[in-house]
Structure 1
Amino acid sequence: MRAWAARAVLPLALVAGVALALVPAGAARGGRNLTGFERRGGTTWTTLAEERDYLRSLVAEPDTGRPTWEAARITLTRVGTSARGRPLDLVTLTGARTVADPIRVLFVCGQHGDEPAGREACLKLVRDLAADRSPAGRRLLERVTVMVLPTPNPDGLVAGTRASADGVDLNRDHLAVSTPEARALRRVLRELRPHIVHDLHDFDTPAGVYDTPTLFLWPRNLNVAPELRGLAVELARDRIGPALRAAGWGSGVYGQDRTDRQVAGDADERLLRNAAGIDHAVAVLVEVQSEPASPLERTDAGLLGRRRVAAHMVAARSTLRMAAERGDAIAQAVRVSRERAERGGVQVHFDGADNAPVGRVEPARAPCAYRLTPGEYARARAALTAHGIVVGADLRVETAQPAGVVVALLLDARARFAVAEAEPADCAGGRA
């Protein structure tokens, strides 16, 4: 494919953020573009090579003579590479603009390499949105920018492993951001600032833990602004859950077994749904059961695979619908959360969850700043940089900045997953 100059839809300052293509979508019409998963009836997953060809096939060159369709444009952007050098590409869909600042929705489609159904749903979602000529489809992309990271863990996907090639669970790396994959995703969050982050997973649990084949959850971390948590609960419990049930699948809260005992889904700030919420986004987790849910699925791998992908599609569509319908409220909540952080002096919760608020450490007002020694700065530098945290020339780190809570979670001795231990700095007016 011949490279050509592209107009950026969103301001990108990504390290490797060279737009590969930006053109009117339309190649998917008529069923010409199918994923490997679709061509094989859902019996096996789309390979990385097939994904590359599929995404490129959705991008038509400007001199092919195909009619221009103004409803959607697709941008394919390299945002990083994996530990093994495999590309990490971000797909962005935009439409004709009727609002000044559209709601940005980011789908993260498979942090765990052995959970591929969400990735397949995302690949299908990109094509279906691009090919949708209906008035409703046009209106959606007028109000919402859709960003898709289809394969955030390509090394794990190829190996069939949960972890990355470095042996790291990426969904436990959104605070320290020690892996190239987590750093690439952090760059997207920091620079493109999605209003909604939708995290897709599959689950495989012992029999009897859950009664339903689909699960959802919002951020439980208490550092997430109440306005954002409320909207995340609305999205998960009041929209995604009912939509899945209406489609014929039972749905429930992730992490609560059939006796309501908490077995997963805690407030760990390293998890994407919590980290994205702390980073001023409405975040949601969706999990789809990977084991057969019926006798037919036990004998038909294609039926099993198609059900898993279809459930993720229903949840993703619910997220997009809420983005279009509740955009003003979402944008306002994100703005309030960010402005509050920039003022500083927020309360930091080092433990606890929204369903278990009493933790081992009482919440405390964040100090105005932390002071790092050269040695501690060396340990924390990579994480601070990845989060876009400003560090003064004297190694003083102010907490009155958008990632102020993250400063405390990275540097305070009371934090569970601190990467360094810094001392609260002396401040004018007597507040530490």
Structure 2
Amino acid sequence: MGHQKRLTAVGCVLALAGTALLAGPTAAAPETSETSATADSQALERSLTAAPSQGLQTPFEASNGANWTTVDEAQAFLEDLDAGSKRVALQQVGESVEGRPLNLVTIGSPAPESQEEVADGSMILFNCSIHGDEPSGREGCLQLARDLSTTKDPAWKRLLNKTTVGFIFTNPDGWEADTRENADDVDINRDFLALATPEAQALATVMRDWNPDVLNDLHEYGPREFYDTQALVLWPRNRNVDSTIHDLSERMVNDYTGAQIEANGMTSGIYGLLVKDGEPFQQVAGDHQARILRNYTGLKHITGQLTEAAQGPVTPEEENDPLLANRRAVDVQYSSAVGSLAMISENRTRLARQSAQAAERATQAGADQAGVVYFSGQDNMLPTTSDGAEPHPMCGYQLTEAQLSELASTLELHEIAWEENAEGAVVTMAQPGKTLIPLLLDERSEYGLTEATPLDDC
């Protein structure tokens, strides 16, 4: 399907349970209330129809899905976007293991705001293929960035006036080598506690400094029997995630991104669930691990999700035409991205408010030593061992001088504060990072960084 036809196909809108599902750059007007934002969104049944300015296409589009865009081609494409549109800002936020730039693209109208302005306002961030051998997310990001930078639709321009849209390309070394891992053979998506890789450090820094309200993490998966929809989506499952952030994330998956994918003619399911005759019967993935970005996002009080496009054919038509499968995978990513844009366009104020309030709730719970700290289990599964949960939370942790020296820079990236004392430093639970602290510092945490001393009295 050619580029213009694909945009037209993605341009349908479906109203589901009172929620408008957009399908191409159309977005909500500046909101005086959540109701007015939804009404404006529902009125936008005509999405982007004008061809991109200057006919700018990705190599993937130009080849009709035969050739994935390379690292160098993407760099040139993004530089062209930056030079050709006042709405676009391209900046380097780090370097990969092999020294390639880690690019953050921000888009706003009439021009992108500064990092300080964005942090105090509204932002949605797309993580564009953290695994180097999963190219469709990158392609979807490149196409959507182009479309947002060139659309003349006034409604989308109103969205960009209120919300900054960011795209980060996290693994250029794996992209170049066509490997899941980075150049040090590390899966970056298992590094969001240790933050040992420069790539995870860069993304954690963006999350800390730009303060996004929504994050959509784009991946691919290998379909098989009972696990063969064209797309899979999932919210954070870690039990320490604030309940409101968890529920907003699940709502985004069910009512926006998954529904948008289906509205555009593709099948969608929940990541990690095997399904037979329409009924899930076994969970095989999608667990609680805080070191995975999907869960880390929720623990940072950000409404977030995972999107997985089926890698390879899942229908007879795709079996007969591999390029159709490639194009469909990109359509999945684009559709999911549009769904999450609809989520923020209709719920911008609530998302920002709940993110801030989740941080306040975590700080208060830490001060009160309230609730339960979970080291295992997930939202649909309780821990099965005594070490899996702590019903009498500690007030903080004592670090030795050696532990503080080793972890100080990592704690700063996580936005976790400490107070030095004669033994080293105390990390109090009375701070927004309360949801992360035990997972980083407790000996019961499977992927913890050290074995600090829990304190009952601070």
Normalised TM-score (structure 2): 0.81
Which stretch shifts more, 362-371 or 349-358?
Answer: 362-371
Q: Return the structure number with greater relative CO, CA threshold 8 A, min gap 6.
A: 2
Q: Does the alignment pair 1:229 with 2:246?
A: yes
Q: Secondary structure at the match of 1:267?
A: coil
Query: How many angstroms apart in 1 are the aligned matches of 2:231 and 2:380?
Result: 21
Paired position in structure 2 for 1:273: 294
Which stretch shifts more, 241-250 or 74-83?
Answer: 241-250
Query: How many angstroms apart in 2 are the aligned matches of 1:250 and 1:304?
Result: 13
Paired position in structure 2 for 1:376: 403
Query: How many angstroms apart in 1 are the aligned matches of 2:453 and 2:143?
Result: 49
Instruction: Give how far 1:300 is off.
Output: 3.0
Q: Deviations over 1:81-136 (max 9, x none)?
A: 11111110100011259999542101001111110100100011101011111122
Query: Which blocks of at least 5 consecutive residues in structure 2 are unaligned?
Result: 1-50
Query: How many angstroms apart in 2 are the aligned matches of 1:260 and 1:253?
Result: 12
Q: Secondary structure at the match of 1:245?
A: helix
Cα contact 1:219–1:267 (8 A) shared by 2:
yes
Cα RMSD after superposing both structures: 2.1
- Report the residue type matching 1:356 in the other structure: M
Q: Secondary structure at the match of 1:198?
A: strand
Matches within 5 A, 1:162-177: 162-177=180-195
Q: Does the alignment pair 1:136 with 2:155?
A: yes
Instruction: Give how far 1:245 is off.
Output: 1.3
Instruction: Give how far 1:31 is off.
Output: 4.3
Paired position in structure 1 for 2:263: 246
Matches within 5 A, 1:27-176: 29-60=52-83, 73-96=87-110, 102-149=121-168, 151-176=169-194
Paired position in structure 2 for 1:353: 378
Paired position in structure 1 for 2:325: 304
Q: Secondary structure at the match of 2:436?
A: helix
Query: How many angstroms apart in 1 are the aligned matches of 2:412 and 2:226?
Result: 40
Query: How many angstroms apart in 2 are the aligned matches of 1:426 and 1:257?
Result: 43
Q: Deviations over 1:287-319 (max 9, x none)?
A: 110111233433433322111101111110010
Q: Does the alignment pair 1:393 with 2:420?
A: yes
Query: How many angstroms apart in 1 are the aligned matches of 2:384 and 2:404?
Result: 28
Instruction: Give how far 1:383 is off.
Output: 2.5
Q: Deviations over 1:36-69 (max 9, x none)?
A: 11121111110111111111111237xxxxxxx8
Runs of 4+ in 1 over 6 A off after TM superposition: 97-100
Q: Deviations over 1:252-309 (max 9, x none)?
A: 1000011430100011111111101000100111111011123343343332211110
Q: Secondary structure at the match of 1:357?
A: coil
Q: Secondary structure at the match of 2:335?
A: helix
Query: How many angstroms apart in 1 are the aligned matches of 2:390 and 2:253?
Result: 27
Which stretch shifts more, 97-106 or 371-380?
Answer: 97-106
Q: Deviations over 1:134-175 (max 9, x none)?
A: 1221121122210101x2111111111111111111111111
Matches within 5 A, 1:320-339: 320-339=341-360
Cα contact 1:379–1:419 (8 A) shared by 2:
no
Paired position in structure 2 for 1:404: 434
Cα contact 2:241–2:435 (8 A) shared by 1:
no
Q: Deviations over 1:374-397 (max 9, x none)?
A: 333344334323213223222221
Normalised TM-score (structure 1): 0.86
Number of corresponding residues: 390
- Report the residue type matching 1:369 in the other structure: G
